[in-house]
Chain A
Amino acid sequence: MTAAPALTRRSQAAAPKARRSIGSALARGEGRGAWLFLAPFGLFYIAFLLGPAVWMLISSFFNTSTVRTGLGSFAGFSNYAEMLTRADFWSAMWHTLQFTLYTVPPLVIIAFVFAILTNRVRRGQWFFRLAFFLPYILPSATISLIWLFIFTPGSGLWATAQGWVGITAGSGVLADPKTAMIGIAIATVWWTLGFNFVLYLAGLQEIPRELYEAAAVDGASNWEQIRYITLPLLNRTTTLVILLQIIASLKIFDQVYLMTSGGPGISTQVALGLVTNTGFTDNRLGAASAASVLLLIVIVAIAVIRQLIERAAERKAA
């Protein structure tokens, strides 16, 4: 009982000093504290990002397989040599590039035009945002099933619409090796355009209205305003959109898997489809890892280029 008041008295007396020492203790203990704050994320980062990346690199040099545990026998560069000489590897790479070439220009240009027009419209912006952006948040499974049905040969909505404008529908967009990738590209443009659209809208809204007003007072036409104000000021957004789009296109898997499973034949097989087929269907994890590493190198190279461009732009701005 007597200890209690004594304790309070002592802590009261020591309060200012204690506070100061807590402060400095915090400063000293910050290092440990910081690592404790980093630890949970760091653990997941190592276990499910860095670790797998390193393991993938290692197993690409081994004959790893799903039927045995462990790495399997050492293979040297043979997985890479095999991949780089396999015709279907290069065809998958070509189809990935083809998909990129089909989707990036429309995704950039149409999104830009829609954003410019939407920015000019005073009323009903919410409706255009809804119409163009909503598909972007739908699952790939939903959009694939919707477009698969639209592309039904003969009686689907696409074939019917072709009939209205007098085009005879052939064997079906996705069934013909020549057009299957175009069909996937159309579905993808419809699906992901909203992402670029909102990026451009955000970029447009940062351009001060006074610039346009000043230009209008000086007699610049609408076209001139777009040409000399909007386009140059959206340069940074365009670079960003193009690079993000290229990276996203290189990772394409879902739509192809769900709409054509790489077919007809291997006419739409893409890089990630080849990786999962080699790994999970052929059970050859080592070879699949080698293909993944090659794909990863391409993607990281583009991401690094993006960083360099960003840095250069920032330095120019500063």
Chain B
Amino acid sequence: MFSISKKINDWIEERLMLEDLPFFKTPDYMYKVNYWLGALVAGSFMYAVISGLLLLLYYEPSAGYTSTISIIDSIPYGSVVLYSHLYAAYAMIILAYTHMFYNYFHGAYKRPRELLWIIGVILLVLTLSASFMGYSLIGDVLAVSAVDVGAGIVSGLGLGFLNPILFGAYDSGDFTRVLALHIILVALIGLFFVLHFFLAESYGMMPSRKVKPKAPAVYTKEEWSKFNAWWPRNFVYMSSLIFLTWGFILAIPNALAYLSGYPTYLNPFLNPHPAPSPSSPAAMSVTAYPPWFFLFLFKIADFTSSYLIMVLIGAIIPLLWFILVPFIDRSAELDPMKRKVAVGVGLVFLTYFIQTTIWGAIAPAVPAKLSQLVLVFLPPPILIGLGLAFIKPRGTSPKSGTSPMISAAIFSALTLLFIGAFSMFSQYPSVLTAGAVIPLGILFALAGTKKVLNADQPSNSLPSTVTSIDVNKVNTKVKLAEIMIAILLIVSIALVAALWTIPPTGFLSNLFGIDLGIVFIMLGEAISLYHYVVYVAGKQSSTS
């Protein structure tokens, strides 16, 4: 069965000279999704570009909202393309954050990848900006209020003269300028992506720390030459990932289009439908909220009345940190436990981001008092700081004592109790509150100096797994995979046949997106199984 495919492979390889591609050769252990998060981001980006170009054929920016509605209601499969375009952007943002934090905690910003990292951070900013502009193009009451907020921030920073340049006459329903900027920003993403991609290819993917424990973590020429060539294995593996990504991008929003009745705070996350027109009476009853990826910034606006402080906290400080981290954390260590400051800051940013996003969803535009900010934002850095302080890197000599996890947890509980008691005392000074705060303070101080909690490290040794490959087992697995591939392909064909029975417009048209999405997911899965059969199992049986 696979000899034909080999022939096809060889034919393509020869004609396109794929062997000479300057792409990074890949070691076997890297065929796991966590090494390919960047490819997933790129896949979502490609989908967004393709669907965006399709939408561009029909979207009329001078009549933003009417045009959006006509794409949904009267253009064949218009809503399918529009909703999946929105979710491609969502997927791209989520995956970009995942990709960034994954590499951050792995120390991938270290030598020699500093520039690669910085371009990545720039790409994140561009992605968020392009998404904001794209979200605004919907032209509904939410989009207009989102631009209002954006324009308000620009004016608040004393840059009000930029508003007509940035947003044009959006408040009269004309989104020409917004569309132009959306496309310009996407083009910039493409440009920086090419740079990012070729830099990534030239350094290669970040090797496992077991192989390269210190920076610079790159394979030498000799090591590199022994790995799998880009064609055909990487191509196959990547195809499966891209089909899966596209499948989910298509299936999820089109399925969500049929969902209703969830609480309103889930609206920013779950609702692909546009809100009412800003000029309709129904707009009066809509609570303004930004797209979910800016909920955190929206909430920060409730912390302070100064736009400058808001932008500092919400954007400039985190961005500066991420851009400068390669120059701050300069040691050769890649083990997260040996670069605790960088890891700690990253974890705190991540926690704060999740917290403020949720806060923005459940209590939008409710001003937060300083005491509430302290209550919300003090525990995470304390917990993270303590956790990191008590966890030792691998390879430190084991000593007897309390498990560090337990010590950390007890210490954290003690800290929280102390903070609680202290804030109580500061607001209601009395004998009772003083009686609570003093002993807790003493315990806290003692624990801090490790006199109470003798925390230490248990043994780190893990049983090393000795893998002996059973040829029979592999053969059974291969058989199973082949059957699965056949089933997936047959079901896919049936689903593709069913596609043409779905009406191109109207209520049922989103089934097209669900159907096509499932087909893509099945194809992705089939290709992934093919990859296993040909490369993984094939290699195992040949080495045993």
Q: Do A and B bind each other?
A: no
Q: Which of A's residues lie within 8 Å of B, judged by CB?
A: none
